[in-house]
Chain A
Amino acid sequence: MTTTVLSLRNAVVMRNDFPLLSGVDLDVHEGELVVFTGANGAGKTSLLRLLGGLLPLTSGTGRVGNVALDDEHRRAIRRNVGWLGHEGSFYQDLSVMENLTFAARALERPLVAIAPALVRVGLQDRMDTPTKALSAGQRRRLGLAWLLVRRPSIWLLDEPYASLDDAGRAFLDELIGDVGRAGATVLLSAHDPLRSPELTPTTYRLAGGRIVERT
Chain B
Amino acid sequence: MKLLQRALGPATLVTLLGTFIMGMWVTPKATMLDGGGDLVRMLYVHPAVAWVALYVSFGTTTVASALYLWRRTRSVVMDRIAYCAMEVSALFIFLTLVTGSIWGRPAWGVWWAWDARLTSTAILGVFVLGYLALRRANGDPEARARRSAVFGILIALDIPIIHFAVVWWKTLHQSATVLNSTGNVLVHGSMLWTLLLSFVAFTLLFVWLLRFRYRLEVMRETSQQSRRDVAVAARQREGA
Q: Using a CB–CB distance below 8 Å, which chain A residues touch chain B?
A: 12, 14-19, 22-23, 42, 56, 71-72, 206-210, 212
**Bound Cα distance from A56 to B231, whole angstroms:** 18
Chain A hits for B227, CB < 8 A: 17
**Bound Cα distance from A149 to B32, whole angstroms:** 78
Chain B hits for A17, CB < 8 A: 139, 224, 227-228, 231
**Bound Cα distance from A17 to B143, whole angstroms:** 12
**24 A-B pairs (CB sep. < 8 Å):** A12-B232, A14-B231, A14-B232, A15-B140, A16-B139, A17-B224, A17-B228, A17-B231, A18-B231, A19-B235, A22-B232, A22-B235, A22-B236, A23-B236, A71-B142, A208-B235, A208-B236, A208-B237, A208-B240, A209-B236, A209-B238, A210-B236, A210-B239, A212-B239
Q: How far is the CB of A53 from chain B (nearest CB, A)?
A: 15
**Bound Cα distance from A209 to B235, whole angstroms:** 7
**Bound Cα distance from A204 to B224, whole angstroms:** 32
**Bound Cα distance from A19 to B140, whole angstroms:** 11
Q: How far is the CB of B43 from chain A (nearest CB, A)?
A: 48
Check B71–A19 contact: CB distance below 8 A.
no
Residues 123-160 (chain B) with a chain A CB within 8 angstroms: 139-140, 142
> What interface size band does chain B fall in?
10 to 19
Chain B residue, CB-CB nearest to A38? B239
Chain B residue, CB-CB nearest to A23? B236
Q: A17-B139, A56-B142, A72-B71 are in contact. Are A208 and B231 (CB under 8 A)?
A: no
Chain A hits for B139, CB < 8 A: 15-17
Q: Which of A18, A56, A71, A209 is in CB contact (< 8 Å) with B239?
A: A209
The 10 A-B pairs at the shortest CB distance, nearest first, are namely: A208-B239, A208-B238, A207-B239, A16-B139, A22-B235, A19-B235, A19-B232, A212-B239, A22-B236, A209-B235
Q: How far is the CB of A10 from chain B (nearest CB, A)?
A: 11
Check B238–A207 contact: CB distance below 8 A.
yes
Chain A hits for B240, CB < 8 A: 208, 212
Q: How far is the CB of B70 from chain A (nearest CB, A)?
A: 13
Inter-chain contact total with CB atoms closer than 8 Å: 47
Q: How far is the CB of B238 from chain A (nearest CB, A)?
A: 3
Chain B hits for A23, CB < 8 A: 232, 236
**Bound Cα distance from A210 to B236, whole angstroms:** 7
Give the dominant DSSP class at B's interface. Answer: helix
Residues 183-240 (chain B) with a chain A CB within 8 angstroms: 224, 227-228, 231-232, 235-240
Chain B residue, CB-CB nearest to A72? B71
Chain A hits for B71, CB < 8 A: 72
Check B228–A14 contact: CB distance below 8 A.
yes
Q: How far is the CB of A181 from chain B (nearest CB, A)?
A: 34
Chain A hits for B239, CB < 8 A: 22, 42, 206-210, 212
**Bound Cα distance from A78 to B66, whole angstroms:** 26
Check A19–B237 contact: CB distance below 8 A.
no
**Bound Cα distance from A29 to B235, whole angstroms:** 28
Residues 35-84 (chain B) with a chain A CB within 8 angstroms: 71
Chain A hits for B235, CB < 8 A: 18-19, 22, 208-209
- Of the listed residues B71, B139, B237, the one surrounded by the most CB atoms of chain A closer than 10 A to its CB is B139
Q: How far is the CB of A71 from chain B (nearest CB, A)?
A: 8
Chain B residue, CB-CB nearest to A21? B235
**Bound Cα distance from A72 to B71, whole angstroms:** 9
Check A14–B140 contact: CB distance below 8 A.
yes
- Of the listed residues B140, B231, B238, B240, the one surrounded by the most CB atoms of chain A closer than 10 A to its CB is B238
Chain A hits for B224, CB < 8 A: 17
Q: How far is the CB of A22 from chain B (nearest CB, A)?
A: 4
**Bound Cα distance from A22 to B142, whole angstroms:** 18
Chain A residue, CB-CB nearest to B237? A208
**Bound Cα distance from A2 to B240, whole angstroms:** 32
Chain B hits for A208, CB < 8 A: 235-240
Chain A hits for B232, CB < 8 A: 12, 14, 19, 22-23
**Bound Cα distance from A206 to B235, whole angstroms:** 12
Chain B residue, CB-CB nearest to A71? B142
